Amino acid sequence: MTGLDAFIKEYGNQVTVFINNRINESKAPDIIKEACLYSINAGGKRIRPVLFLMTLNALNVEISKKHIAYASSIEMIHTYSLIHDDLPPMDDDDYRRGQPTSHIKYGQAYAILAGDALLNLSFETMLDYASTVKDIAAARDISKASGYEGMVGGQVLDMNKPECVKDILKMYSLKTGALIKTSVVSAAIMAGANKSILKRLNDYAENLGIAFQLRDDFLDKTDINEKTGKPKNSDKKNNKSTYISKRGNLSNEIKLHKHTKNALAAIQPFDGSYDKLRSLAEYLDNRMK
């Protein structure tokens, strides 16, 4: 197992345990706890929380429970967005990661409420652990990335079915990119990184987010129940234009590698502490699920 694999496994697991404990210990009605945990435990690579923790690690911050709490909060936001995106009035997906989506399992009302509960819980969790001005600033960056100028805004653009490549890329940068970017940037804010480091990490994460979505679009075109767990061509079902549907496989592949290269170039001046962030960019470029 490489250092990257070990890090992902170790901290992905810590995030999963943290969220499970937090929800299990709450006094919420059982059915909503169950619906939240169903989606949290439906798989998922924990890429965003791992990116958050990996950035702290690159900046030589010792990872504490507060950091696991923030990383977990980002994963809760990601999970809430998947639950709401899958709803019939939105993408209308019956399966995700090979399992029935929340509204198929629990009905639409509970799916809406489970999403709402996870979004609330994300902020509640950060506020439980925040104590410094830097902690507040990190939570603020996450909230902006999650909201209507970020991920929610991206979903709105997606509902408009963008047709031209420029609009498709804008949608990617908000719907997928914003939360990936804040996973890196909010960690750097929390660590008190200086402006020049922040700028480079911002560029790294911005490119990583676009590359991530381009790879997703490619994987979505292939036979997938073993891979992303989404039915083959689920994006096609909704008549969605993607970069790959507009420009073809080869252009998609070239663009993906270009963004990965840009991500690596952004952190090129930094020392070996950033090696895991480098490996992660390469891993995401090549991933098969």
Return residues touching a second copy (CB under 8 A): 26-29, 31-33, 36, 84, 87, 89-90, 107-110, 112-113, 115-117, 119-121, 123-124, 127-128, 130-131, 133, 136, 139-140, 143-144, 146-149, 152-153, 155-157, 159-160
Q: Choose between 124 and 253: whose C-beta lies nearer to a second copy.
A: 124
Pairing of strands 95-96, 99-100: antiparallel
175 alpha-carbon distance from chain centroid: 10
Taking the complex as a whole, the smallest distance from the CB of residue 222 to a second copy amounts, in Å, to 28
Taking the complex as a whole, how short is the minimal distance between the CB of residue 111 and a second copy, in angstroms? 8
Are 242 and 207 within 8 A, CB to CB? no
**Considering beta carbons, is residue 1 or 109 the nearer one to a second copy?**
109
- For residue 69, the Cα-to-chain-centroid distance in whole angstroms is 16
Question: What is the 3-class SS of 167-188, one letter each residue?
Answer: HHHHHHHHHHHHHHHHHHHHHH
Q: Write the DSSP symbol of residue 164.
A: S
We find the least distance from the C-beta atom of residue 249 to a second copy, in angstroms, to be 30
Pick the closer one to a second copy by CB: 136 or 219. 136
Q: Which of 13, 68, 10 is nearest to 276 (CA)?
A: 10
Amino acid at 183: S
Least Å from the CB of residue 201 to a second copy: 20
| Least separation in angstroms between CB 110 and a second copy | 7
Report, in angstroms and rounded to the nearest whole number, the Rg of the chain calculated over CA atoms. Answer: 18
Amino acid at 160: N
Q: Minimal CA–CA distance to 149: which of 170, 134, 135?
A: 170
Q: Which is nearer to a second copy, 52 or 274 (CB)?
A: 52
Cβ distance to a second copy smaller for residue 108 or 286: 108
The answer to whether residues 190 and 134 touch, using CB atoms and an 8 Å cutoff, is yes
H-helix or E-strand containing 123? helix 108-129
Question: Shortest gap between Cβ of 245 and a second copy (angstroms)?
Answer: 21
Nearest CB to a second copy, comparing residues 157 and 169: 157
